[in-house]
Amino acid sequence: MDRSATILIAEDNASDRLLLSALLRRLGHRVIEAEDGAQALQLFDAVTPQLVLLDALMPPPDGFEVARRIRARSDESFVPIIFLTSLQDPESLAAGLAAGGDDFLSKPYNATVLRAKLNAFLRMAEMHQTLQQQRDEIARHNRYLLNEQEVAKRVVDKVAHSGALQLPNVRYVLSPLALFNGDVVLAATGPLGNLHLLVGDFTGHGLAAAIGAMPLAQIFYGMVGKGFHLREVLREINARLHDILPAGVFCCATALSIDFADGLVEVWNGGLPDGLLCRGDGLLVPLVSRHLPLGIRSARQFNDAVERLQVAPGDRLLLWSDGLPEAAGAGGARFGEQRLLEICGETPVAERFDVILDAVHRFVGGEGQVDDLTLVEVTVVPRAEFAGAVPGRIADAAAQKWHLVFALEAESLRSVNPLPLLLHFLMEVPGLRSRSGQLYTVLAELYANAVEHGVLRLDSALKRTAVGFARYYRERERRLQRLTEGQVRFELDYHGDHNGGVLCIKVADSGAGFDFEAWRDGSTPDHYAGRGLALLERLGIRLSVPLPGNCVIVEFRWNDV
């Protein structure tokens, strides 16, 4: 099929120029005519033709010179140049090609030959353009993907590579080279002072791994912070990953929990190369991979069994992902576990981390980068030395003092449950985290008391029978819906630090109150007082209810030393 194009011709011979134009126009092309070299260059810049026909012999600049200058200008576009010439000698032809010409057309012009050459070159130019467009699109797409990966990496870095990794007894190396290599290292301290560590290696790099790393980290930090046991954390992580990750994507991981006070380590390894417990006496105990990686087993089948090992201050735990044993050296040899064990055997404990890193780098040598290298070392220290930084959202190292007032009016009493909000706020306080159960009980009972007896003025005597119970709650609902005036007010007063503290909870209502002391020693038949307060007293929580009795104060003290 004949392609049609814009063609520039430069020919100083008028009749030849006329003839050539006519020929080209008959073939369906648009012709731009130049009478000499200088004009040809001007028109080339102005028009950007798809093909150029140049008479070789013109007064300067002649065809060859024009060709050279055109080539000098051209960016990446492919503009075929055909010389019009009767020159036959090899030197001239060679000079033509050297100047940047692609072909020659001799005089007299042959319409068929001209047509054939034009078609061939225009087809090539079109292919060239297509290739470039595709290349540019691929490059664009690539940049886009790389950018996405970069974003994913930053997100994951924030979540997955933070926490307690700034502790002095934890050393680690995460390869900075791979844009995103699927490795995560998480560390957090529980409320009782246990250090939890998780090293993970997701299959699939880039975004596939990012999808799993986020929930992994969130669950880990969330649960460890709330005092859950390692086994429960792993169970939850496995269940979530099993749900989210597609079949075939999983996370090899080693998790450990160190109780510095008891000198005990619990280890769970699913799919990572065996880690090492390096005892102070030189003994090397492998931390064997006994489980399937996370995300493969369903929640029902997940095996959370941990291995328990005694440790003493000075012992070190070494963990690594498979990037280390698989590091490739000259001739494709792998670094291997054997070499690692040998190094550990020969090197003093305190130097092992650095010696291993150095050995791997030297092994890989100039071959390439040490990709995917993750190495973590935890040193066992005496409990007193361990200053576990708990990842909290409020600064909790220094002493704190704050006062919170939270009041609910009638409309809010109808529709808002303040307890989750208050509890969530209180969980920011490190010392209170392990006491969330108790706190909840206190707040819930005081609140129920304030609402039902203080504001709604219900008689709790009703609650003693089954039928009465149902009536009570119907009545409660009825009165709540019709409530126009009333208030329940929480006042929380906190003073403490990471060793202990005092939380004073005061819940007041807009009701008439009651005589607490009289109620307590049974000297009044007043049944307005709730069961709840009795419950709290039985739990050993000291209440004080100053007259007129519409406010209950509970003092919470704790000590973590």
Partner 1 sequence: MGITTDVAAGGNELVIKVAGRFDFSVHQEFRQAYERAPVRAQRYVVDMGGADYLDSSALGMLLLLRDHAGGDDADITIANSNADVRRILTISNFDQLFSIE
Partner 2 sequence: MNRGQHLDEQALQELKAIMGADFPLLVQTFLTDSHQRIVAVSTALESSDADALRRAAHSFKGSSSNLGALQLAELCRLLEERGRDGETGADCPTLLTQLAQEFHHVERELTLLAS
What does the binding site for partner 1 look like in residue numbers (CB under 8 A)? 201, 203-204, 247-250, 252, 270-274, 289-293, 296, 301
HSE on the CB side for 352, CA within 13 Å? 31
Please, which residue, 272 or 349, has the CB nearer to partner 1?
Answer: 272
With CB under 5 to 8 Å by kind, the binding choice for 204 among partner 1, partner 2, none is partner 1
- Of 496, 501, 506, the C-alpha closest to 405 is 506
Q: Minimum distance between the CB of residue 109 and partner 2, rounded to whole angstroms?
A: 6
Q: Minimum distance between the CB of residue 300 and partner 1, rounded to whole angstroms?
A: 10
Q: Please answer whether residues 272 and 326 qualify as being in contact, where contact means their C-beta atoms are separated by less than 8 angstroms.
A: no
Joined tokens for residue 404: 């919170």
Joined tokens for residue 146: 């790389």
Pairwise CA distance, residues 212 & 143, whole Å: 24
Please, which residue, 24 or 375, has the CB nearer to partner 2?
Answer: 24
- Of 488, 491, 487, 459, the C-alpha closest to 473 is 459
Number of H-type helices and E-type strands within the chain:
15, 20
With CB under 5 to 8 Å by kind, the binding choice for 63 among partner 2, partner 1, none is none
Please, which residue, 163 or 212, has the CB nearer to partner 1?
Answer: 212
Pairwise CA distance, residues 369 & 498, whole Å: 44
Q: Which stretch binds partner 2 (CB under 8 A): 17-25, 178-186, 371-379, 525-533?
A: 17-25
Q: Minimum distance between the CB of residue 145 and partner 2, rounded to whole angstroms?
A: 54
- Of 357, 393, 442, 351, the C-alpha closest to 162 is 393
User: Which residues is 163 bridged to in the sheet?
Assistant: 187
Sites for partner 2 among residues 512-531 (CB under 8 A): none
Q: Minimum distance between the CB of residue 20 and partner 2, rounded to whole angstroms?
A: 9
113 is a contact residue toward partner 2 (CB under 8 A): no
Please, which residue, 247 or 384, has the CB nearer to partner 1?
Answer: 247
With CB under 5 to 8 Å by kind, the binding choice for 108 among partner 1, partner 2, none is partner 2
Q: Which long-range contacts (CB under 8 A, 24 or more apart) does 407-410 make?
A: 407/487, 407/488, 407/489, 407/490, 408/487, 408/488, 408/489, 409/486, 409/487, 410/483, 410/484, 410/485, 410/486, 410/487
With CB under 5 to 8 Å by kind, the binding choice for 541 among partner 1, partner 2, none is none
Q: Minimum distance between the CB of residue 124 and partner 2, rounded to whole angstroms?
A: 26
116 is a contact residue toward partner 2 (CB under 8 A): no
CA torsion, points 23, 25, 30, 32, in degrees to nearest 10? 50
The β-bridge relationship of strands 195-202 and 251-259 is: antiparallel
| Type of residue at 455 | V
Q: Minimum distance between the CB of residue 244 and partner 1, rounded to whole angstroms?
A: 15
Number of Cβ within a 10 Å radius of residue 452: 25
Q: Which stretch binds partner 2 (CB under 8 A): 12-20, 324-332, 402-410, 485-493?
A: 12-20
Q: Minimum distance between the CB of residue 50 and partner 2, rounded to whole angstroms?
A: 22
305 is a contact residue toward partner 2 (CB under 8 A): no
Pairwise CA distance, residues 202 & 270, whole Å: 12
Q: Please answer whether residues 1 and 124 qualify as being in contact, where contact means their C-beta atoms are separated by less than 8 angstroms.
A: no
Please, which residue, 268 or 490, has the CB nearer to partner 1?
Answer: 268
With CB under 5 to 8 Å by kind, the binding choice for 249 among partner 2, partner 1, none is partner 1
452 is a contact residue toward partner 2 (CB under 8 A): no
26 is a contact residue toward partner 2 (CB under 8 A): yes
DSSP assignment of 148-185, as one string?
A: HHHHHHHHHHHHHT-BGGG-TTEEEEE-SSSS--SEEE
Q: Minimum distance between the CB of residue 46 and partner 2, rounded to whole angstroms?
A: 25
The β-bridge relationship of strands 6-10 and 30-34 is: parallel
Q: Which stretch binds partner 2 (CB under 8 A): 19-27, 254-262, 396-404, 519-527?
A: 19-27
Number of Cβ within a 10 Å radius of residue 36: 17
Please, which residue, 9 or 267, has the CB nearer to partner 1?
Answer: 267
66 is a contact residue toward partner 2 (CB under 8 A): no
Give residue for tokens 């648009």. Answer: 30
With CB under 5 to 8 Å by kind, the binding choice for 274 among partner 1, partner 2, none is partner 1
Instruction: State which of residues 15, 166, 415, 484 lies at the interface with partner 2 (CB under 8 A).
Output: 15
With CB under 5 to 8 Å by kind, the binding choice for 18 among partner 1, partner 2, none is partner 2
Q: Which stretch binds partner 2 (CB under 8 A): 101-109, 163-171, 270-278, 334-342?
A: 101-109
DSSP 146: H
For the purposes of burial, counting CB atoms within 10 Å of the CB of 24, is it exposed (0-12), middle (13-18) or buried (19 or more)?
A: buried
Q: Minimum distance between the CB of residue 41 and partner 2, rounded to whole angstroms?
A: 21
Please, which residue, 57 or 214, has the CB nearer to partner 2?
Answer: 57
Q: Minimum distance between the CB of residue 22 and partner 2, rounded to whole angstroms?
A: 5
440 is a contact residue toward partner 2 (CB under 8 A): no
Please, which residue, 204 or 392, has the CB nearer to partner 1?
Answer: 204
Residues contributing to the site for partner 2 (CB under 8 A): 12-16, 18-19, 22-23, 26, 57, 86, 107-109, 111
